[in-house]
A and B are shown apart, each in its own frame.
Chain A
Amino acid sequence: MSWKSTRALATDVLIIGSGGAGLRAAIEARRFGAEVLVVDKAVIGMNSNTRYSGGGLKAALPGILEDRYTTIFSTPGEHFYEALMHGEFLNDQELIETLALEAPARVLELKEFGVERFDALYYHVHYPHGTGLVAPLMAHARRLGCTMRPGITPTDLLFDGDRVAGCIGFDVHTERPLVIRAKAVILATGGAGEIYERNDTTAVTTGDGYMLGFKAGVRFRDMEMVQFEPYVQAEPGLPEMDRHECEAEFFGILRNANGDEFLKSYLPPRTEEVDSFEKQFGMPLTDIRERVARAMVSEVHQGRGDQGAVLFDLTGVPPEKWQADIASQYTRAVLMRGFDPETTPIHVLPGAICTLGGIAIDAQCRTDVPGLFAAGEVAGGVHGAARLGGDALVETIVYGARAGKHAALLAAEVDHGDELDAQWESAKRGWQLVLERSPEGASSADEIKTRLKKIMWKHAGPLRDEAGLKEALAQVSELDEEATRLHARSLRGVRAAFEARSMLLTGRMVLTSALARTESRGAHYRLDYPFRDDGRWLSNIFVVPDGDGIRLDVRPVRLSRHAPSSVSKFGLEVRS
């Protein structure tokens, strides 16, 4: 085939991805004087996990940020401590320290960008609640003069020596190849919830940033940690969607097929009240999602499931509670359309919500490769083994801003690379191979994606064991082989092929790390090693690109502030 002529663009800071982190990075880079180009493979901002999130933010802002259903921190120290305890010491303590200290200012600053409500958006903003965050960020970035282009899929990064100097991709709307020269590049592509059959993330989160980083040679950390959201609907004919925090939901009771309130045997209740999860179990649901998710899947695993799921009994919800807030009304009218929760319990089963690990960064969001930054869900280290509800969005605004600032500062010092033409010619040949391959005997990207999602959900979901993970790795190798024979008719098809390969790579990283971690910690639970083992596993698993494959590098956690032994169970530091 013949290509349309290549479009060449140049900018100071190139941001790949336009969710919360990408948009916040754009604003900050512009404030520091850089010319900014934001590209997204789909649409700008509006199809991102930030937008489809509940909109909860965690920060030490007593008296200001007071959502009655989540933990309130009176000091950044408390925020740091809770994040470390929930992350079970796998966090990079320098990263959570920065997060806890900067979160209050970054949250308040949202007002300047036109965010009207930043406390519990799910009560005040029409679904998708994260619109209340994304739309003002987009508008503000535009006001400052950031350029944003939808439909651009970068497939490779450009290098000038060992420094990243832009990217090569294509525009699905004009069907033209594109080369973008940049002095600094920020990956803000989000995670890879889509590698799981059951997920609560948007369909575009296919781990593309992991693939770009992998090709550039960055290290990844804690990839075995994938967080699952508990109450994702599993009712035939209804959307597979998380049931956002709403007034009515707090009167719901999880039951197994025998009708037992099984959660009480996993999380001993403190009171009998059911009008708030926190009152009943002592902690807000959003902070211990992985434990609730594991309890639900364990019931099904032990044969007490109903049609492969558990039942969420909302028959006791006082009728007026369905009218109490916008989230309850939306849940009832849209998510449960035509289903009567007043008489029939609804099937629910967890789904992937967040990849906690990712590209290893420092507090300036620098990766191992000069000129390449990462922020948001694509980066790892902030959350460790589990995440507090609300910390993901705070991570996007704190680290998005940091990435934008440091990328802009770097861009002020360096020049555009030269002699890049040979690199983009070779990338174009890669797409051409896919486009020119005969459809006869070729494999389909959609089929590979579907099969991978089933494999990952079956073997690397909330419950894992050695045999399952090994079998999954063998099956992923077969899919890898099939992915060498992908065919596409258009650049949209090439994009699907790139996504399938990114998902396979992410799946392999999750499986390999999960197999290596022979203990249970946070979101990672091994049926064959059900206990936390600080003696052997107070370590991070780094995934290092090694030729076409990967290798693991296990390193003891850098305990820069606290070690488990220095913290008593009452949360006070033990001083000897």
Chain B
Amino acid sequence: MSLGIRINEERCNLCGFCVDSCPVSLFTFDEGETRIVIGDLADCLVCRNCEDHCRRRCLVVDFPEWPHRSTVEAWLK
């Protein structure tokens, strides 16, 4: 299993939409609110809500076993 969430910290502007969009509170700000901390990936539902809401497109949910919604929806039609 190869689930991973990567944030390009050089691009991240700390808008916090990943924090607000996650149904299992996987993301938190660190103590000084200078970066996003990713919690235990065991909780991740791979709903990709964080990816969809990332304003700077700098967050990637990497899980090749399950494609993105757009791919599956095209395939369902």
Q: Which residues of chain A have a CB within 8 Å of any CB of chain B? A: 41-43, 46-47, 52, 124-128, 131, 150-151, 172-173, 202-204, 236-241, 326, 330, 333-335, 337-338, 489-490, 492
Known: A42-B20, A46-B49, A150-B20. A330 touches B42 (CB 8 A): no
B69: interface (CB < 8 Å): yes
Q: Which chain B residue lies CB-closest to A127? A: B47
| A–B complex contacts, Cβ < 8 Å, 15 sampled | A43-B49, A126-B76, A128-B47, A150-B20, A151-B16, A151-B20, A203-B22, A203-B25, A241-B45, A330-B66, A334-B65, A337-B3, A492-B19, A492-B29, A492-B33
**Cross-chain contact of B69 among A126, A150, A204, A239 (Cβ < 8 A):** A126
Q: Which residues of chain B have a CB within 8 Å of any CB of chain A? A: 1, 3, 15-17, 19-25, 29, 33, 42-47, 49, 52-53, 63, 65-66, 69, 72-73, 76
Q: Is the CB of A239 within 8 A of B16?
A: no
CB distance from B10 to the nearest CB of A (A): 21
Q: Which residues of the other chain, B, contact A41 by a CB distance below 8 angstroms?
A: 20
Q: Which residues of the other chain, B, contact A337 by a CB distance below 8 angstroms?
A: 1, 3, 63, 65
Known: A330-B66, A492-B29. A52 touches B23 (CB 8 A): yes
CB distance from B24 to the nearest CB of A (A): 6
In the assembled complex, the Cα of A236 lies from the Cα of B40 at a distance in Å of 11
In the assembled complex, the Cα of A236 lies from the Cα of B44 at a distance in Å of 13
Q: Which chain A residue lies CB-closest to B71? A: A126
Q: Is the CB of A43 within 8 A of B76?
A: no
**Cross-chain contact of A46 among B3, B21, B72, B73 (Cβ < 8 A):** B21
Known: A43-B53, A126-B76, A334-B45. A203 touches B24 (CB 8 A): yes
Q: Which chain B residue lies CB-closest to A42? A: B20
CB distance from A246 to the nearest CB of B (A): 14
Q: Which residues of the other chain, B, contact A47 by a CB distance below 8 angstroms?
A: 20-23, 49
In the assembled complex, the Cα of A543 lies from the Cα of B55 at a distance in Å of 42
Q: Is the CB of B21 within 8 A of A43?
A: yes
Known: A43-B20, A203-B23. A338 touches B1 (CB 8 A): yes
Known: A131-B69, A239-B43, A239-B44. A42 touches B15 (CB 8 A): no
Total number of residue pairs linking A and B with CB closer than 8 Å = 80
CB distance from A494 to the nearest CB of B (A): 13
Q: Which chain A residue lies CB-closest to B73? A: A126
Q: Is the CB of A326 within 8 A of B72?
A: yes
In the assembled complex, the Cα of A203 lies from the Cα of B47 at a distance in Å of 14
Q: Which residues of the other chain, B, contact A492 by a CB distance below 8 angstroms?
A: 16, 19, 29, 33
**Cross-chain contact of A202 among B19, B23, B65 (Cβ < 8 A):** B23
Q: Which residues of the other chain, A, contact B42 by a CB distance below 8 angstroms?
A: 236-239
Q: Which residues of the other chain, A, contact B52 by a CB distance below 8 angstroms?
A: 46
Q: Which residues of the other chain, B, contact A335 by a CB distance below 8 angstroms?
A: 45
Q: Which residues of the other chain, A, contact B43 by a CB distance below 8 angstroms?
A: 239-240
**Cross-chain contact of B21 among A42, A127, A172 (Cβ < 8 A):** A42
Q: Which chain B residue lies CB-closest to A128? A: B47
Q: Which residues of the other chain, B, contact A202 by a CB distance below 8 angstroms?
A: 23-24
In the assembled complex, the Cα of A509 lies from the Cα of B63 at a distance in Å of 41
Q: Is the CB of B15 within 8 A of A173?
A: yes
Known: A43-B17, A46-B49, A326-B76. A239 touches B66 (CB 8 A): no
In the assembled complex, the Cα of A326 lies from the Cα of B69 at a distance in Å of 11
Q: Which chain B residue lies CB-closest to A194? A: B25
CB distance from A113 to the nearest CB of B (A): 18
CB distance from B57 to the nearest CB of A (A): 16
Q: Which residues of the other chain, A, contact B24 by a CB distance below 8 angstroms?
A: 202-203, 239-240
Identify the interface centre among A43, A241, A330: most chain B CB within 10 Å of its CB. Answer: A43
Q: Which 4 A-B pairs have the closest CB atoms?
A: A202-B23, A338-B1, A42-B20, A203-B25
- Other A-B contacts than A173-B15, A173-B16, A337-B65, 19 sampled, CB-CB below 8 A, are A46-B21, A46-B49, A46-B53, A47-B23, A124-B76, A126-B72, A127-B47, A128-B45, A150-B20, A151-B16, A203-B22, A203-B23, A236-B42, A239-B42, A326-B76, A330-B66, A333-B65, A334-B65, A489-B33
Identify the interface centre among B20, B42, B63: most chain A CB within 10 Å of its CB. Answer: B20
CB distance from B2 to the nearest CB of A (A): 9
Q: Which residues of the other chain, A, contact B76 by a CB distance below 8 angstroms?
A: 124-126, 326
In the assembled complex, the Cα of A204 lies from the Cα of B21 at a distance in Å of 9
CB distance from A234 to the nearest CB of B (A): 12
CB distance from B67 to the nearest CB of A (A): 9
Q: Which residues of the other chain, A, contact B53 by a CB distance below 8 angstroms?
A: 43, 46
Q: Which chain A residue lies CB-closest to B28? A: A446
CB distance from B16 to the nearest CB of A (A): 7
In the assembled complex, the Cα of A465 lies from the Cα of B73 at a distance in Å of 47
In the assembled complex, the Cα of A335 lies from the Cα of B63 at a distance in Å of 12
Q: Is the CB of B33 within 8 A of A490?
A: yes
CB distance from A125 to the nearest CB of B (A): 8
Q: Which residues of the other chain, B, contact A172 by a CB distance below 8 angstroms?
A: 16, 20
Q: Which residues of the other chain, A, contact B21 by a CB distance below 8 angstroms?
A: 42-43, 46-47
Q: Which residues of the other chain, A, contact B69 by a CB distance below 8 angstroms?
A: 126, 131
Q: Which chain B residue lies CB-closest to A338? A: B1
Q: Which chain A residue lies CB-closest to B20? A: A42
In the assembled complex, the Cα of A338 lies from the Cα of B65 at a distance in Å of 10
In the assembled complex, the Cα of A333 lies from the Cα of B3 at a distance in Å of 11
In the assembled complex, the Cα of A238 lies from the Cα of B43 at a distance in Å of 6
CB distance from A248 to the nearest CB of B (A): 16
In the assembled complex, the Cα of A202 lies from the Cα of B43 at a distance in Å of 12
Q: Which residues of the other chain, B, contact A489 by a CB distance below 8 angstroms?
A: 33
Q: Which residues of the other chain, A, contact B17 by a CB distance below 8 angstroms?
A: 43, 150
In the assembled complex, the Cα of A239 lies from the Cα of B45 at a distance in Å of 7
Q: Which residues of the other chain, A, contact B47 by a CB distance below 8 angstroms?
A: 52, 127-128
CB distance from A148 to the nearest CB of B (A): 14
